Each structure stands twice: as C-alpha cells, then as structure tokens.
Structure 1
Amino acid sequence: MAVMLTLVAIVEYPAGAEAAGQRYEDTVLALLDRHGGRLERRLRGTDGRTEVHVITFDDRAGYESFLVDPERTDLRAALGTAAPNTRVIEVHEV
C-alpha cells in the first residue's frame, strides 16, 4: 500500500534572481500533477527572496520521479547560478 508523502520546501532565490527564480518555480510546480503531486500551499516571504511550499505526493515514487523529470532538470540547469536554493523537509501531521 502506497503512503502519501508530505513535504515542505524552503526555497531561497539568489539576490538579483528573484524574478527568474519565481518563473522557474511557477513552471516546475506545474509539473507536479504528472507525478501524483499537489501544491497545497505556496507562501512568499515578505523579503521577496524566500518561498515556502507545502507539497503532497501520492507516494515516494512520485516524488522521486519529479526530482528526475527531464523538463525540471533542464530548466534548473539553464538557470545556472540563478537557480533557487531549496531545502526539503519530509513532514507529518502531529
């Protein structure tokens, strides 16, 4: 039986690359559905350089396939040093 996976992603944009980073996030978050993922919440820090995403996947395999999605990896590579720095934390309800 597959177990739903819930993640919190803390996304930080390099200074001067906020607009490019936000466009990247807009694009890759739209890819979640093809991997059984859903964006539950998207919050932007008042500094404009940080976002917090709450994302669920139907199972871990969906998350793993999202990470290696060729469209996602190509977009990230194209951004180079302007790519966001992301920390992902697996979470559960308490």
Structure 2
Amino acid sequence: MLTLVAIVEYAAQAEAAGQRYEDAVLALLDRHGGRLERRLRGTDGRSEVHVITFAARSGYESFLVDPERAALRAELGDAAPTTRVIEAHDV
C-alpha cells in the first residue's frame, strides 16, 4: 500500500478551472488502483490537500503517465495547479 499526501495550489484567477481539473483527474484514480481517502479545501479557496492511497507503487506510476491526465493538464496550460506530493505512513 502506498499513501500520498498531495498539496495542491491553484493559479491566481484560475481557481475554478483548477478545481474542475482536480475533479477530473481524481476521477481517474480508480483505473490505476488508487483511491481518494480525503479531500480538504483551504479556507483561502486557492489550495487543497488530498490523501490518496494506491494498492501498489506501479499504480501511482501509471497514474502519473495516464494520457487522459496529461491531456487535461495540457489543456489548462499556465492555469494548471502546482502540486507537491509527499509519501506518508501512519505513525
């Protein structure tokens, strides 16, 4: 099991587009053995935190190169959110 925490920051003036992108991309997790455990939106409306699990690291790797995900990101161009991903475990 692989657990990730993603910190997503939306581009200024592109928050709505970023949220739609995240909705679409998170819907792709299942096809790669991934699952969204928790999705939190910052009170500033410009950031989110996602807790995501994958059955295996290979699922995460295939999610990263998913052609549909890449196309969605390319569509947004400079308005695409930036994401920092942290591998995590329970303590």
Scaled by the length of structure 2, what TM-score is found? 0.99
1:26-64 alpha-carbon deviations (Å, 9 max, x no partner): 000000000000000000000000000000000000000
Q: Is 1:24 aligned to 2:18, yes or no?
A: no
Cα RMSD of the aligned pairs, angstroms, is 0.3
Which segments of structure 1 move beyond 6 Å, counting only runs of 4 or more? none
CA distance in 2 between counterparts of 1:19 and 1:82 reads: 10
The 5 A counterparts of 1:1-94 are 4-94=1-91
Percent identity of paired positions between Structure 1 and Structure 2 = 85
Question: Which amino acid counterpart does residue 83 of structure 1 have in structure 2?
Answer: A
CA distance in 2 between counterparts of 1:59 and 1:49 reads: 30
> 1:80 Cα deviation (Å)?
0.3
What are the ranges of 5 or more consecutive residues in structure 1 without an aligned counterpart? none
CA distance in 2 between counterparts of 1:24 and 1:78 reads: 9
Question: Which amino acid counterpart does residue 55 of structure 1 have in structure 2?
Answer: I
What are the ranges of 5 or more consecutive residues in structure 2 without an aligned counterpart? none
1:4-34 alpha-carbon deviations (Å, 9 max, x no partner): 0000000000110000000000000000000
Residue-pair matches, total:
91
Question: Which amino acid counterpart does residue 26 of structure 2 have in structure 1?
Answer: L
Scaled by the length of structure 1, what TM-score is found? 0.96
> 1:84 Cα deviation (Å)?
0.2
